[in-house]
Structure 1
Amino acid sequence: LLLDDYGIEGVHRVEHWPAVVALPPGVPAMVVLGFEQGVETADLAIISEQDVLGDRLSRRRPAKRAEDFITEHSQLSGGDLVVHVEHGIGRYVGLQIIEVGGAPHDCLEIHYDGNDKLFLPAVNIELLSRYGSEEAGVNLDRLGGAAWQARKAKLKQHIREMADQLIKVAAERVLRSAPLIQKPDGFYEEFCARFPYEETEDQLGAIDDIFADLQKGTPMDRLVCGDVGFGKTEVAMRAAFPAVMCGGQVAIVAPTTLLSRQHFHTFKERFAGLPVLVRQLSRLVSTSEANSTREGIRNGKIDIVIGTHALLGKKIDFRNLTLLVIDEEQHFGVAHKERLKQLRSDVHVLTLTATPIPRTLQMAFSGVKELSLIATPPVDRLAVRTFVMPFDPVVTREAILREHHRGGQCFYVCSRILDLPDVERFLADRVPEVKFVTAHGRMPPSQLEDVMSAYYDGAYDVLLSTTIVESGLDIPNANTLIVHRSDRFGLSQLYQLRGRIGRSKTRAYAYFTLPPKHIPTEAADKRLKVLQSLDTLGAGFSLASHDLDLRGAGNLLGEEQSGHIREVGFELYNQMLEEALATARSGAAGELEAGDQGWSPQINLGAAVMIPEHYVADLSVRLGLYRRLAYLQDVEEINSFAAELIDRFGVLPQEVENLLAIIGIKRMCRVANVEKVDAGPGGASVVFRNDAFANPGGLVKFINDNSGSAKLRPDHKLVYQRSWDEAEDRLKGVDYLVRQLAKLAQSTPAGS
């Protein structure tokens, strides 16, 4: 079929090579041979499978959904400040097993002012959010006190105003039109086949999201957040291909000359043989070449231009800019971002980042920017081993030599150019076995280009440099990093530096050194501890969330800092903002509550409801699972969660089956406005939230139809008498009861 597409007919299927040779000239044959790549001679052309379909690396790893990744990584640790929707700021102490109605339940112990304690059942964990932000100077609330409700009410008004402004910004964007970009059939599949790896599920998800945006006819504004080396560049190329094929121009803006040089080589290689002209514009390019590139951008001859902020200069005038890709946005200053805004009014914008700056992350959380997460590592990738230690010449020498003896290369990074001569002397005296070369931003462009090319080609064992290597460099053979005076670097800088290594199948090692006998500042110490703890693959998103916690988010519209967030904590602030945005979008008036999430049905059936320790031993994983459980929406999601648990931890114990059943019952309770259900051997009692039911007539009919067993008490409790001796009977009975109530609530008579 594939050969038919190319008009090759009359192919002979033969068993071995002699049979091929025996065929007359000009007759195509198909044979199985041990060739990886084809060859061509004067009278023969051999085309291999890889020539047609491209290289492939297989993976056999089920992927986690990106949303699950966020939920499990916003997990709680003992001592964290948390916010309860009703009771305010408290301190989470740990998970306790508490007997309720004769059955064990997992409960979260939270301490409040005056040493008051609250035990919250883990099934109601959605009432809690992490406080986030810096904890210094935060006072715990008093259980039952009025201060928390007053603060929350005051914040509602501010959030409502802010939501209106954000909606206005988003609406202006939606009213503008941008070119509709479709996938070019046939060509696009061939372009994808050139990618030598198998795409991860998250990569494919991000690509689908981008195409959905490009086909809307309004300007795209999407943030793709993927860890270092997780394949964001490939996602950008998949977006660039159709944009160029539709006759548009694509601009890729990178923060450093080295990163733009690397992107240029990557794009040039992938687009080779296609009618696409790729050029770069940075200080590594000669003046004459830069001038011809600017002219090509102006007259539309250049399809893809890759550069640093030189691309944002006033002399640059695009003929038909369709897609703007911003790589590592956190490195651009305010002035550059203003210029980007001018460029992007009716242009599709794709932002790639491993550690999004807090405001961008907050905008993505709030739905102002769209967010795609790439949380799945490429096949066979190993996490980087990280060590934070006082500088020790012996350990440093051993680390460099170990890398040298296994055939690899090292990065040695200093925060200042002033420190480079000292490290040069150390390397020359203590590690004479290796060849090293120095690179920094003040070198002439041609010299820097030569140094990087020589290092990339393996001419040197160690690259001694400043943070010029921080962004996006891809040198798979470099797998040891030593950072000099790591206390002088920011959190995302250190993370980016660590991302330069471990980009192949080899285990990589990062050494963050501190001066001996020198105590780092509290903030530096915290940064290094966070970095050492985040040593799993795909930790970039968690890191940005930690950065939010350490620095606060700043206001979305930019005019004020994080004071309002400190009132209620980051997660609840965000949740309130999302709900205000939803209310403003629908144009609905009315009170903005701390959300529909501001209450959670309480179900007590006298059955063990928990994830037992013998089933999931790791406490933080258990809490992460509880958090995800709280946000499951329907039966399909509950079933798929159960399948994932069986896949990860084995057959479900009875307690977990009960837990999943309770989650289904809670979902029905929300629909029926049921606040509390208590069930025992003699039946169940039901409390409605605010003593209200959506369909009173239907409820009266239900009571009359079950006159022997159902009645409404004067305190508005519904009592349902049944004989349920076993916990299983109670689960089935309560499930039936709330299902009936939910059905009644949804069939509200017209006009009521």
Structure 2
Amino acid sequence: AAFKAVASSKQVAVLVPTTILAQQHQRTFEERFEGFPINIAAVSRFQSPGEIAKTLQGVKKGTVDVIIGTHRLLSRDVSFKDVGLVIVDEEQRFGVAQKERLKELSTSVDVLTLSATPIPRTLHMAMVGVRDMSVIETPPEDRYPIRTYVVEYDQQLIRQAILRELARQGQVYFVHNRVQSIDYVYSDLAKLVPEARIAIAHGQMDESVLERVMLDFYHGEFDILLCTTIIETGMDIGNVNTLIIDNADYLGLAQLYQLRGRVGRTNRVAYAYFTHRKDKVLTEDAEKRLGAIKEFTELGSGIRIAMRDLEIRGAGNLLGPEQHGFIASVGFELYCRLLEDAISELKGEEKVAPPDPVLDLQIDAYIDDGYVQDPAQKVGLYQKIIALDSLEACDDLEEEFQDRFGDLPDAARNLLQVARIKVLARFLGLGSINVRGNRFQLKFLEGLAIDANKYVALHGKYRGRISYRHGRVGQLLVEKDKDDQQALAFLAEVLAACLSE
């Protein structure tokens, strides 16, 4: 994408969250574009103020084709001659205001965001059509799923895990995300594994010292890198295949997944240990996060992790800065529907769909607690029933009910029959179906009525059991049996006959 943009005489901005990742991208771009007249530059804290000023001048004049940088790119003193593409790597590490700042650079700029675990707001925007989404599901060759363990912190387990990695000449990441207490953890690790060479790395270190530590670890000078989540992005060291995270319950789901992705980057089997303090009572959300990271271990499962994160945290605010949270005032389903309608209208897509008929059939139709015990599953099934839009979909859902929960009780069977009736009523142009005495009263939408010839055929077929009243709003009266199932079956039969005659 960047090459095509530069070939079209446009500039490309690549925004990354860390200086380490900026360096890595600069090397990759220079290797890939070697032999082409493309000028690539980077701005981060590893460059001197003079070098940065010179680079930004080149960006303004148009002599720099691809600029790679951290949050420094978002500064007001950065201006482009003609930017055509903005690439945001590790998109989940940036806030809404930061990403919107990039769009201010040009009204016609294309934005490509990359993330293994998109934040709830971004994923939701893709799901409802505000953004396009592509999923890369094929992993590189000779990769194995990372063996993942969620355990209480145990010193002997940690020692065994480290020694096993050292025995195969490998290295270890030990993540402790508290700079204030990282030195105490260093002392404990040194006592626990005295034979290991340990280095410390965190974001508050001097950049030259941090760079030196990272390079030494990359070249195998140390066995264990005791660090904060600074390694979350940009670290690509094939020899590191054991990850231990201290107090994993404090980290977010996307963070946990990104950290786990730092190991298992070669054809070796990798191990990840997510630990929490002994006898600690975890919060409900922490349990869900750790359960998800343990459940989704196969390669390329980032999108499912992101979907679970969306479930746990909510979709955030499309028009505001919140990147997660639930739409409390109108409800999530209604919010999505309103959003989809607005997007379709802006795209010029006409949605000619008849309104849903209002049904008041005075019949027991629900999912019994004894049939489906889990409330979350029950809500999911009700949502599926609401979304039914064809008789085939109704039949498929009934099969799913029977396959998952066994034979349907009467109330659940009635519920699916009501769903079929609603589908038929929508196609027929009915506005409502109510009960009037011992009959169902079917009212057509204004301007619609049953064809005279069709009614003659129906009246002959169901003599004495149906009647029709003309008027501004046409009404069809259908006999209601005392038995609920028979009453619904006959109503569905009459509706189907109205459509087929």
Instruction: With the length of structure 2 as denominator, give the TM-score of the two structures.
Output: 0.72
- Match in the other structure for 2:368: none
Give 3-state SS (helix, strand or coil) of 1:370's partner. Answer: coil
- Match in the other structure for 1:376: 137
Whole-Å Cα distance in 1 between the matches of residues 87 and 74 of structure 2? Answer: 12
- Match in the other structure for 2:471: none
- Match in the other structure for 2:204: 442
The equivalent position to 1:713 in structure 2, one of 454, 459, 467, is 467
Whole-Å Cα distance in 2 between the matches of residues 409 and 260 of structure 1? Answer: 24
The equivalent position to 1:324 in structure 2, one of 65, 73, 86, is 86
1:408-428: per-residue Cα shift (whole Å, max 9, x none)?
332111112223222322333
Q: C-alpha displacement at 1:713, in angstroms?
A: 3.0
Q: C-alpha displacement at 1:622, in angstroms?
A: 13
Whole-Å Cα distance in 1 between the matches of residues 268 and 155 of structure 2? Answer: 25
Letter in 1 for 2:46: L
> Is contact 2:357-2:422 (8 Å) kept?
no
The alignment-based identity, stated in percent, is 40
1:199-218 aligned within 5 A:
none
Whole-Å Cα distance in 2 between the matches of residues 249 and 378 of structure 1? Answer: 30
Letter in 1 for 2:290: L
1:160-559 aligned within 5 A:
239-333=1-95, 336-337=98-99, 339-367=101-129, 369-374=130-135, 376-378=137-139, 381-521=143-283, 523-558=285-320
**1:313–1:506 distance in 2 versus 1, CA, 3 Å:** same
Whole-Å Cα distance in 2 between the matches of residues 272 and 299 of structure 1? Answer: 23
**1:247–1:341 distance in 2 versus 1, CA, 3 Å:** closer
The equivalent position to 1:704 in structure 2, one of 446, 456, 460, is 456
Letter in 1 for 2:428: A
1:604-643 aligned within 5 A:
none
Whole-Å Cα distance in 2 between the matches of residues 490 and 560 of structure 1? Answer: 16
Which residues of structure 2 form unaligned runs of 5+? 362-375, 409-416, 434-438, 469-474, 480-488
Q: C-alpha displacement at 1:444, in angstroms?
A: 3.0
Give 3-state SS (helix, strand or coil) of 1:343's partner. Answer: coil
1:552-573: per-residue Cα shift (whole Å, max 9, x none)?
4443322899998235542343
Q: C-alpha displacement at 1:464, in angstroms?
A: 1.8
> Is contact 1:672-1:742 (8 Å) kept?
yes
> Is contact 2:358-2:432 (8 Å) kept?
no
Letter in 2 for 1:672: L
> Is contact 1:675-1:687 (8 Å) kept?
no
Q: C-alpha displacement at 1:453, in angstroms?
A: 3.4
**1:626–1:504 distance in 2 versus 1, CA, 3 Å:** farther
1:246-286: per-residue Cα shift (whole Å, max 9, x none)?
11111010111112222222222222233322222111234
- Match in the other structure for 1:177: none
Q: Structure 1 residues 534-543 or 387-396, which shifts more?
A: 534-543
1:671-690 aligned within 5 A:
671-673=427-429, 690=443
Whole-Å Cα distance in 2 between the matches of residues 372 and 624 of structure 1? Answer: 25
Letter in 1 for 2:214: M
> Is contact 1:601-1:670 (8 Å) kept?
no
Q: Structure 1 residues 505-514 or 558-567, which shifts more?
A: 558-567
Whole-Å Cα distance in 2 between the matches of residues 288 and 568 of structure 1? Answer: 53
Whole-Å Cα distance in 1 between the matches of residues 182 and 200 of structure 2? Answer: 8
Aligned length: 453
**1:467–1:579 distance in 2 versus 1, CA, 3 Å:** same
**1:344–1:358 distance in 2 versus 1, CA, 3 Å:** farther
**1:265–1:488 distance in 2 versus 1, CA, 3 Å:** same
Please report the RMSD computed on the Cα atoms of aligned residues, expressed in angstroms: 4.9
Whole-Å Cα distance in 2 between the matches of residues 290 and 561 of structure 1? Answer: 31
1:140-183: per-residue Cα shift (whole Å, max 9, x none)?
xxxxxxxxxxxxxxxxxxxxxxxxxxxxxxxxxxxxxxxxxxxx
1:478-522: per-residue Cα shift (whole Å, max 9, x none)?
322111222332333223222322344444322122233444455
Letter in 2 for 1:469: I
Q: C-alpha displacement at 1:311, in angstroms?
A: 1.4
**1:582–1:347 distance in 2 versus 1, CA, 3 Å:** closer
Give 3-state SS (helix, strand or coil) of 2:104's partner. Answer: helix
**1:423–1:667 distance in 2 versus 1, CA, 3 Å:** same
1:394-447: per-residue Cα shift (whole Å, max 9, x none)?
111111222233443321111122232223223333224443332222333333
**1:412–1:622 distance in 2 versus 1, CA, 3 Å:** same
Instruction: With the length of structure 1 as denominator, give the TM-score of the two structures.
Output: 0.50
Q: Which has the bigger relative contact order, CA under 8 A and spacing at least 6?
A: 1
Whole-Å Cα distance in 2 between the matches of residues 634 and 246 of structure 1? Answer: 48
Whole-Å Cα distance in 1 between the matches of residues 170 and 122 of structure 2? Answer: 36
Letter in 2 for 1:701: N
> Is contact 1:358-1:544 (8 Å) kept?
yes
1:66-120: per-residue Cα shift (whole Å, max 9, x none)?
xxxxxxxxxxxxxxxxxxxxxxxxxxxxxxxxxxxxxxxxxxxxxxxxxxxxxxx
Whole-Å Cα distance in 1 between the matches of residues 360 and 145 of structure 2? Answer: 41
Q: C-alpha displacement at 1:664, in angstroms?
A: 10
Letter in 1 for 2:135: I
Q: C-alpha displacement at 1:309, in angstroms?
A: 0.9
1:25-51: per-residue Cα shift (whole Å, max 9, x none)?
xxxxxxxxxxxxxxxxxxxxxxxxxxx
**1:414–1:304 distance in 2 versus 1, CA, 3 Å:** same
> Is contact 1:676-1:687 (8 Å) kept?
no
Whole-Å Cα distance in 2 between the matches of residues 409 and 563 of structure 1? Answer: 38
Whole-Å Cα distance in 2 between the matches of residues 353 and 364 of structure 1? Answer: 13
Whole-Å Cα distance in 1 between the matches of residues 205 and 496 of structure 2? Answer: 72
> Is contact 1:673-1:689 (8 Å) kept?
no
- Match in the other structure for 1:570: 332
> Is contact 1:251-1:305 (8 Å) kept?
yes
Whole-Å Cα distance in 1 between the matches of residues 268 and 250 of structure 2? Answer: 29
> Is contact 1:391-1:515 (8 Å) kept?
yes
Whole-Å Cα distance in 2 between the matches of residues 625 and 694 of structure 1? Answer: 35
Q: Structure 1 residues 565-574 or 461-470, which shifts more?
A: 565-574
Whole-Å Cα distance in 2 between the matches of residues 561 and 290 of structure 1? Answer: 31
Q: C-alpha displacement at 1:308, in angstroms?
A: 0.3
Whole-Å Cα distance in 1 between the matches of residues 359 and 116 of structure 2? Answer: 35
1:524-571: per-residue Cα shift (whole Å, max 9, x none)?
445434433444544444444444444444433228999982355423
Give 3-state SS (helix, strand or coil) of 2:318's partner. Answer: coil
Q: C-alpha displacement at 1:370, in angstroms?
A: 0.8
Letter in 1 for 2:178: R
Give 3-state SS (helix, strand or coil) of 2:132's partner. Answer: strand
**1:533–1:248 distance in 2 versus 1, CA, 3 Å:** same
Q: C-alpha displacement at 1:701, in angstroms?
A: 1.9
Q: C-alpha displacement at 1:523, in angstroms?
A: 4.8
Letter in 2 for 1:696: A
Whole-Å Cα distance in 1 between the matches of residues 350 and 47 of structure 2? Answer: 55
Whole-Å Cα distance in 2 between the matches of residues 692 and 429 of structure 1? Answer: 80
